[in-house]
Amino acid sequence: MDQEEEKYAKLEKIVEMVNKSEISSVQNVVSGITKIINDPESSAKDLKEIIQIDPPLTGKLLKLANSVYYSPRNKISEIQQAIIWVGYDALKELALSQKVCEVFAGDSDIEGYSPNLLWKHSVAVALLGKMIYRREFGRKGENIYVAGLMHDIGIIALDQFCQDDFRVILTKTKTGKKNQTKMEKEVLGFDHTDVGRAMTDSWNLPRELVEVIGHHHNPDNIARDFVRPGLTLYVADYVCQQKRLGYGDAPVRDRELFKNCLKRLELSSFALDLIAEDVERELLKMEEQGLF
Torsion, Cα of 286, 103, 185, 256 (10° steps): -20
Distance CA 30, CA 36 (A): 10
Q: What are phi and psi of 262, to 5 degrees?
A: -60, -45
Which amino acid is located at 30 in the chain? V
Residues 170/164, Cβ–Cβ less than 8 Å:
no
Helix (H, G, I), strand (E, B) or coil at 79: helix
- CB 124: neighbour CB atoms within 10 A? 27
Nearer to Fe ion, 54 or 249 (CB): 249
Helix (H, G, I), strand (E, B) or coil at 110: strand
Q: How far is the CB of 246 from Fe ion (least distance, A)?
A: 9
Nearer to Fe ion, 93 or 152 (CB): 152
Nearer to Fe ion, 194 or 237 (CB): 237
281: Cβ–Cβ under 8 A, 6 or more apart, which residues? none
Q: How far is the CB of 225 from Fe ion (least distance, A)?
A: 22
Residues 65/72, Cβ–Cβ less than 8 Å:
yes
Q: How far is the CB of 269 from Fe ion (least distance, A)?
A: 20
Q: How far is the CB of 194 from Fe ion (least distance, A)?
A: 11
Q: How far is the CB of 79 from Fe ion (least distance, A)?
A: 31
Distance CA 87, CA 89 (A): 6
Query: Using a CB cutoff of 8 Å and minimum separation of 24, what contacts does 100-105 make?
Result: 100/26, 100/30, 100/149, 100/150, 100/153, 101/292, 102/22, 102/25, 102/26, 103/22, 103/23, 103/26, 103/153, 103/156, 104/156, 105/22
Of 26, 33, 50, give the one whose Cα is nearest residue 203: 26
Strand partners, 110: 113
Nearer to Fe ion, 60 or 216 (CB): 216
- Interacting residues toward Fe ion by CB under 5 A: 152, 237, 249
Q: How far is the CB of 134 from Fe ion (least distance, A)?
A: 21
Q: How far is the CB of 217 from Fe ion (least distance, A)?
A: 6
Residues 236/265, Cβ–Cβ less than 8 Å:
no
Q: How far is the CB of 125 from Fe ion (least distance, A)?
A: 6
